[in-house]
Structure 1
Amino acid sequence: MSSRIRNTHAKSILPMALALAFGPLAAHAATADWAPTRSHAALLKTVTTSPAAAGRAAVTRTSYAINRHGLPQVQSAVTPLDNTKALHVAVSLNLRNAEQLQAFIKNVNTPGNPSFGKFLTPAQFKAAYAPTDAQVQAVVAHLRKSGFTQVSVSPNNLLVFADGNASAASTAFNTTMKTYVDNGKQRFANDSDVMVPQALGGIVGSVIGLQNIEHRHPMNFLGRPVTQTAQATTQGTPVNVTHTPTEFPTIYNAGSTPTAFNTTVGIVTWGDLTQTREDLNTMTSAMAMAPVNVKVVPVTLGNLGEVDFSDDPNSDTEWNLDSQSIIGTSGGVKQLVFYTAANGKYGAADEELTDAGITAAYNQAVVDNLAKVINVSLGEDETIANQTGTQAADDAIFAQAVAQGQTFSVASGDQGVYVTTNGEFETNAGGPLAGFNPATYSVSEPATSPYVIAVGGTELTTNGGAWAGETTWNDGVQDAGDGNNRIWASTGGKSLFETAPAWQAQQLGASVRQVPDIAFDASSYTGAQIFIGGQRYTVGGTSLASPIFVGVFARVQTYANNSIGFPVSLMYRDFPGNAAVLHDVTSGNNGVSYQGKQYGYNAAAGWDFTTGYGSLDIGKFNQLAFTWGNGSPATTNPPVTPTALTNGVTVSAQGQAGASTQFMLVVPGGTTTLSFRTAGGSGDVSMYVKRGSAASASSYDYMSARPNSNTESVVVRNPTAGVYYVTLTSPGVFTGVALLGSYQ
């Protein structure tokens, strides 16, 4: 059981909480007995005094360090934050009956257990494990008394949102707020632990939104523009080349595994999604895929008024990579839901995005319970996430997801073993960064949560378009653009705070959570060709690896009729005895060679800290994972409904490589001539026509297959009345082909 989720509810607290909610709260900052929370100081203060000397008085100096791994010093002046500075917080409340919840999570995912597969609804979870309405109202009353406004509560009672300022935060949480300027941007943070009145000590877990020094950031590596999209597919020497997202199902051997036509997928994002949706449409058109059923869910911190969801161009690459990789790998989903946090701007305020908005987006995906699998290509140094209380808040949300049968897939990170410095370890001149210790490793949150699947990265080799090998992703050291060198590699290692879940303790003998669990392609040299602003770019990173897994698992869920729960415990149980399901990655390292010594972890046979168990053979994984659910197999793919043609009306046709696109035309009696013609567009189509049933290359009445041409024609004299079916195929993608069916 995770040490971050525990039952702190006691019967004696409830009367005190009710008294707080309905009675006056007078001068608590001066007289109240405060209780700690999991939110500690984001800025650590150190006061030093030099001794007095002859003719010189003692000098007292105050310095600050960021509360993350390595404790980096703040280089600029730190001053009190203006009391009127707007703050928007999310107060995370503790779960009830946490031990019972852990037992349920185990039972609901254990085949043969009476609770197996009986996932909870959000209402059932709230009734059994969420804070009570009385506890919530006690917190609401305290916030309002302290000066917060726009106080609201998430539907599952796990988060209380409030709009206030630095003065209200100091009053409510007995903390002090500080500010400084870094790279021209104002940073703010608390330099003392966050506390609440004793009556709320068993209710409030943490407070998020009191610092903007760090927040989760995307995990992608933007490569070069793609000037030539065609890849070598003939058998020969294995190669390292980039791929379109639709090639991953073939590379990882999807075989007859269905597309994800009946599974809803979520993506956690922020800002405006207009460009991402346009580029997704460009991708599906170029790949001859059906348009995606997209839903965008804006997520705010409660009932705030004017919220800015403007575009963040720096993040478009991430959301494009996530969405296009998922759709390409899955073959298409039932619905793609973007849970998008505000871009850090509320009303007239203009501040950096904080973790509060992103955690709220996680929570909305769980509250809605629409998406069966949710992608998170975001992360930050685990230490600051733990110390600010973000990690505990996220764990509670992810635990609810598991109880409901939802799976969060999280990119493990792109910084190798140096997450705390964002992968940076030396200056361009070769000198070490101040305070950097190459033997001190760090990992990324939320990948370390025991309630998510952490996906690491590989570098993929293919031969003739098929999988030929993988090694640990490590694109080496590159200029970070700020005068420092950084590593781009698969993050893996040991959590400093999360205890090992039972499935890792049993299989690996671990005492703490270890990441990653699995891995997929992530190298910018072998990554995905993604449309960004209409132009193709090569994009890598574990932000590619996680969406590939999401696309794979969405296919598997469709085959099992969405009956599989959180699969990671069964992965650890079954993978060691099913080696054929895996591509075990046994070579590579996720660290650096520095001053004559190699740092980081090495790949090895079986599970390791670079790629977990490795990547998956989709078809074989599908057959294994089906045993983890309790549904009947879905059809290989949904039945194809041919597009109806109208006499004499031209339509535009498109199709994927090797696939078929079908049409139908009802021909009445008395017709003397029936014709079908194609022209224009790209590709090399062949046309097959059959009366009464679907046509194919092996079953047709008429056909036209002129090589290297889209000018095909079938003419039938005195046709028999009935329904005529037309099928277009092409060895490659075809788009914009005009098809005309007519009769006289």
Structure 2
Amino acid sequence: MLRSSSLVSTRLHRALTVAALVGATVLMVPHGAYASDIWANTATQATPIPSGIVTVPLNISQSMHIVVGLAPHNKAQLDTLVAAISTPGNAQFGQVITPQQFLATYAPTATDVSAVENYLSSLGFTNITVSGNNLAVSADGSAQVVESAFNTKLVSFNLGGRHVFANTQPAQVPLSLASIVSVVVGLQNVGVMGTQLALPQNPLTTPAYSGPQFQTAYDAGGTPAGSNTTIGIVTEGDITQVPLDLRQYEQEFNLPQVPYQVVPVGLQTTDTSGLDEWDLDSQSSSGMAGNLQKIVFYNAGSLADAALIPAFERIVGDNQVKAVNMSFGGCESLEYLSGAMLMEDLAFEQGAAEGITFFAASGDGGASCQVLANAGEPVVLSAVEYPAASEYVVAVGGTSLLTNAGYTYNSEIAWISGGGGNSLWESPGPWTNGVIPPTGSTCGLRGVPDIAMDADPNIAPADVVVNGQDIGVGGTSLASPLAVGSWARMETAHNNCEGFAAPILYTTFGQPFGTAAVDFHDIVLGDNFLYAATPGWDFTTGLGSFDISAINAALPTPVCAATTTSKKK
């Protein structure tokens, strides 16, 4: 695969040039004012269907929810801005922007949005809504309308016990929209994301760690609690029980009651299958933080991309949180082919420009995609998961935590099932240069993870209240909220003026490849089947795990405007 030597706008360039690589298909567009003899490719490609799978045309009356992604303006300028404001020592360090400033400089214009709205409306789509940053237009329509609008074919089939649908042809739009529309998401549900949660093999005999015990293990005592910092957690389904379990957890471990807010995004469901995940996320993040100003649950309709994208857009549009937890993931190649990667990366990058850090679990499939493997038993080696693979996300891998009497830190080894490896589609941020292996950084490959925290359900699971009962839970679903809670403490300690964490961590603490990161616990034992933990950054534990007090003491303090500080509180 040919890759640009420049890291600026690489992913966007790859996606937006799919049409040029594939070639425009010459077909009639039978839609009145949009009539043309040319369709233009978007970045949404055909979904690969395994050989031997029997498919049938999707019922033309089936209702579908799609999200049309619009191309941003001044993308290269945005890339440069994010790197500048997130890099200690840069004159722009800490000068984050507002959603209004993003809209004025980097978003599609109102004229662009109207063109897409009018096109969808003319074909019979309903419930047409536009994201606050103009990058996404969501709509509902039948399968027949979707096929007609995007010149594609939809089929249904059974896969792994699920009845799914997918597009067998790339999504296209009329040539008049070619410079406006970049992707169409929602044409397949094969790649629905899954949570990264693992349970102990012997739950009755495996002791579990409370939030205060994790605080001791990761040396949080020298930093204040995260009481002035608001975090977000992306959830789905019916989460009515989650605050109740959080209150019980707080009572059990003598923790303050953290205020919370539920922000429904999209059509809500009665699904409660993810209750243990959302309990883990909220209790572990707040337990590690010691306290929080607020938890905001951004509750999507499902873990499908067409439901998650509006949630990500809402987070960056609200701009009221400093850190966001995402304890889910999917095979990155499916995310790339569907076009969802392009849209979600833009949302995460806007968050970085606003000083928001998205954290994501790197997966529980070792050096493989969890959807294609049982945890620790890789089927496809060197496959990573998304959104952890995004350049604008902090990917959190897993360790096996060992403590002394009194829960003080002893050591960690790489958790055998912790996700890690090279991305096939994402480029590394320039802040990783010289820290990650040259085979990755110089070839335009994003290395995963960035950091790691405890994830082993059989050595050090978290004590989590689920439906009123205490259970032990692990996985990188634990590692990610532990990292979020740690970062919330550091944000509170620095007046909520630290921005996107990845560049700050790499440039402040990262050392030349092969040398341990300063103030991190460097993990040098264990592996994830393909990659071994080594001195310095590695493909299973990244920079290592937080020594919270040491890292907090060494963090640079950017100049933070009073208006920004008050808004974040």
The within-5 A match list for 1:663-674 is none
C-alpha distance in 2, partners of 1:447/1:504? 15
User: Which of residues 94, 99, 116 in structure 2 aligns to 1:122?
Assistant: 99
1:424/1:184 Cα in 2 relative to 1: closer, same or farther (>3 Å)?
closer
Once the two structures are superposed, what CA deviation does each residue of 1:374-432 show, in whole Å capped at 9, x if it has no partner?
001110001000000010011110110011010001111110112064324999xxxxx
Please give the alpha-carbon distance, in whole angstroms, between the structure 1 residues aligned to 2:112 and 2:183. Answer: 15
What is the Cα deviation at residue 247 of structure 1?
A: 1.1
Cα distance, 1:200 vs. partner?
Answer: 1.2
Aligned residue in 2 for 1:143: 120
Q: 1:420 to 1:376 in 2, by over 3 A?
A: closer
Aligned length: 532
2:74 pairs with one of 97, 103, 126 = 97
2:399 is aligned with 1:469: no
Q: Aligned runs of 1:491-640 on 2, under 5 Å?
A: 491-508=419-436, 509=438, 510=441, 511=443, 512-525=445-458, 526-576=460-510, 579-591=517-529, 600-625=530-555, 627-630=556-559
Q: CA deviation at 1:209?
A: 1.1
User: Which digits, 9 at most, give the CA deviation of each residue in 1:22-62, with x for residues without a partner?
Assistant: xx942868x531111111111x3xxxxxxxxxxxxxxxxxx
Alpha-carbon separation, structure 2, partners of 1:426 and 1:329 = 27
1:173 to partner: Cα distance: 0.5
5+ long unaligned stretches in structure 2: 1-7, 17-29, 562-569
Alignment partner of 2:446: what SS?
strand
Determine the structure 2 residue equivalent to 1:377. 327
- Structure with bigger strand share is 1
| Superposed counterparts of 1:201-216, under 5 Å | 201-216=178-193
Deviation (angstroms), 1:153: 0.5
Q: Secondary structure at the match of 2:551?
A: helix
Question: 1:459 aligns to what?
Answer: 400
Q: Deviations over 1:181-239 (max 9, x none)?
A: 346643111110001111111211111111112211101102368658xxxxxxxxxxx
Give the equivalent residue in structure 2 for 1:17: none
Give the drift of 1:117. Answer: 1.5
Q: Which residue of structure 1 lines up, in the alignment, with residue 140 of structure 2?
A: 163
Partner of 1:409: 359
The CA deviation at 1:536 is 1.1
Deviation at 1:441, TM superposition (A): 2.2
Q: CA RMSD in A?
A: 2.4
Determine what percentage of the aligned residue pairs are the same residue.
39
Cα distance in structure 2, aligned partners of 1:513 and 1:2? 14
Equivalent in the alignment of 2:173? 196
Q: 1:361 aligns with which of 311, 328, 349?
A: 311
- CA offsets per residue over residues 658-678 of structure 1, 9 Å max, x none? xxxxxxxxxxxxxxxxxxxxx
CA displacement at 1:140 relative to structure 2: 0.8
Give 1:319-398 correspondences, 5 Å limit.
319-343=278-302, 354-398=304-348
Post-superposition shift, 1:283? Answer: 0.2
1:19-58 maps to which residues of 2 (within 5 A)? 25-26=31-32, 31-42=36-47, 44=48
Q: Whole-Å Cα distance in 2 between the matches of residues 585 and 337 of structure 1?
A: 33
Q: Which residue in the other structure is 1:718 paired with?
A: none
- The amino acid of 1:362's aligned partner reads F
Once the two structures are TM-superposed, the CA of residue 4 in structure 1 deviates from its matched residue by 2.0
- By relative contact order (CA 8 Å, sep 6+), the higher-ranking structure is 2
User: Partners in 2 of 1:447 and 1:425 — Cα distance?
Assistant: 17
CA contact (8 A) 2:102 2:350 kept: yes
- The answer to whether the 8 A contact 2:396-2:450 is kept is yes
- Give CA deviations for 1:574-618 in whole Å, capped at 9, x if unaligned: 224585511101011101xxxxxxxx1111011000100110111
C-alpha distance in 1 between matches for 2:265 and 2:465:
26
Residue 12 of structure 1 is matched in structure 2 by none
| Contiguous gaps of at least 5 residues in structure 1 | 10-23, 45-64, 66-71, 229-239, 301-306, 344-352, 428-435, 475-488, 592-599, 633-744
1:441 aligned residue: 382
Q: Which residue of 2 is the match for residue 284 of structure 1?
A: 250
CA 129–416 in structure 1, closer or farther in 2 if over 3 Å, else same: same
Whose radius of gyration is greater, 1 or 2?
1
| TM-score, normalisation: structure 2 | 0.89
| Distance in 1 separating the partners of 2:505 and 2:88 | 13
Structure 2 counterpart of 1:170, which letter? Answer: E
Match for 2:521: what amino acid?
A: H
Is the CA contact (8 Å cut-off) linking 1:504 and 1:513 kept in structure 2?
A: no
- Whether 1:245 and 2:195 are equivalent positions in the alignment is no
CA distance in 1, matches of 2:162, 2:203: 34
Report the secondary structure of 1:4's partner residue: helix
Work out which of the residue numbers 3, 20, 23 in structure 1 matches 2:10. Answer: 3
CA contact (8 A) 1:414 1:542 kept: yes
- Structure 1 counterpart of 2:3: none
DSSP-derived class of the 2:419 partner = coil
Counterpart contact for 2:519–2:550, Cα < 8 Å: yes
Aligned to 1:311: 271
TM-fit CA distance, 1:631: 5.3
Q: TM-score, normalised by structure 1?
A: 0.68
**Aligned-partner Cα distance in 2 for 1:371–1:41:** 36
Distance in 2 (CA, whole Å) between partners of 1:425 and 1:452 is: 23
C-alpha displacement of 1:6: 4.7
Structure having the higher helix fraction is 2
**1:270 correspondence with 2:236:** yes
Measure the CA separation in 2 of the matches of 1:341 and 1:283: 24
Amino acid at match of 1:550: V
Shift of 1:288: 1.5
Deviation track 1:292-321 (CA, whole Å, cap 9, x = no partner) reads: 201000001xxxxxx333132x21111011
1:256 aligns with 2:222: yes
